[in-house]
């Protein structure tokens, strides 16, 4: 990979104070401050190239592994908390909004046009709705066991984070966690609930996590290995 040109896109940001690089399954994006001269971008990317290439390989390896199977077509399948759901895609021209309904192990997806993009958009809306229910009851149970409380729950699609906990107790979770096995979601919830007591990742924090999820390191390894493939 090192001998090949490295493709990346540049995005200017009014909020960025320093240049940074984001690597995900969509490729490489360089976020730069509004006033940064573009001639400085290539040297910055070259300096970070070993890290960029290692991260890109992790994404490629995750897809090759095949542990997460996603096939967006009629007769295909998508994961849902450890289950594989079969897709029954129905194209209905003139439909004003997509509709997704689950019956057993089958997801019926009604869309107005053919193609993976229409299926993906419909499924993402459905996963987001389901994520609030799945996260909420797990979060309520976890804070009850811990004797703590949170202030708000938000479902998002962060590019590089699975969840977050703010100092005021606001919780945010990535809906793509529903593409992982249930024990992974359970671990991420416990991880964030532990942040209600310890906001940093100090040894004290990890001792707290271990007391609640003894095999947390196994779940961390699974996310590092398969997280990049958790995408529609």
pTM (two decimals): 0.74
User: Cα 97 from chain centroid?
Assistant: 25
Q: Name the one residue in this structure whose structure tokens are 């962060």.
A: 158
pLDDT for the residue 27: 79
Q: Quick one: average pLDDT of 31-36? A: 90
Q: Quick one: average pLDDT of 180-195? A: 96
pLDDT for the residue 64: 45
Do residues 192 and 163 make contact, with C-beta atoms less than 8 angstroms apart?
Answer: yes
Q: Give me the DSSP letters along 71-123.
A: --STT-EEEETTEEEEEEEEE-TT-SS-EEEEETTEEEEEESS-SHHHHHHHH
pLDDT for the residue 59: 65
Dist. CA 100–CA 77, nearest whole Å: 14
Do residues 152 and 173 make contact, with C-beta atoms less than 8 angstroms apart?
Answer: no
For residue range 65-75, list pLDDT tens digits in order: 556 778 899 99
Domains of the chain: 9-65 (no CATH), 77-229 (3.30.2010.10)
Q: Quick one: average pLDDT of 165-170? A: 94
Q: Quick one: average pLDDT of 54-78? A: 74
pLDDT for the residue 25: 64
Is the pLDDT reported for residue 17 higher than 90? no
pLDDT for the residue 69: 78
pLDDT for the residue 228: 81
């Amino acid at each position: 990979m090192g001998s090949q040109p490295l493709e990346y896109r540049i995005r200017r940001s009014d909020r960025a104070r320093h240049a940074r690089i984001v690597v995900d399954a969509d490729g490489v994006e360089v976020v730069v401050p509004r006033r940064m001269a573009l001639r400085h971008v290539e040297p910055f990317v070259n300096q970070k190239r070993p890290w960029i290439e290692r991260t890109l390989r992790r994404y490629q390896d995750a897809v090759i592994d095949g542990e997460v199977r996603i096939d967006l077509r009629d007769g295909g399948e998508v994961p849902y908390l450890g289950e594989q759901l079969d897709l029954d895609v129905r194209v209905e021209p003139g439909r004003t909004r997509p509709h997704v309904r689950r019956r057993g192990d089958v997801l019926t997806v009604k869309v107005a046009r053919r193609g993976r993009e229409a299926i993906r958009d419909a499924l993402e809306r459905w996963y987001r709705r389901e994520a609030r229910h799945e996260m909420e009851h797990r979060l309520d149970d976890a804070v009850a066991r811990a004797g703590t409380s949170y202030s708000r729950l938000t479902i998002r699609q962060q590019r590089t984070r699975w969840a977050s906990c703010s100092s005021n107790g606001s919780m945010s979770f990535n809906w793509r966690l529903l593409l992982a096995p249930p024990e992974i979601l359970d671990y991420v919830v416990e991880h964030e609930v532990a942040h209600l007591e310890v906001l940093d990742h100090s040894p004290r924090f990890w001792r707290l996590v271990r007391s609640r999820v003894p095999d947390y390191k196994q779940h961390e390894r699974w996310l590092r290995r398969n997280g990049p493939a958790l995408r529609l």
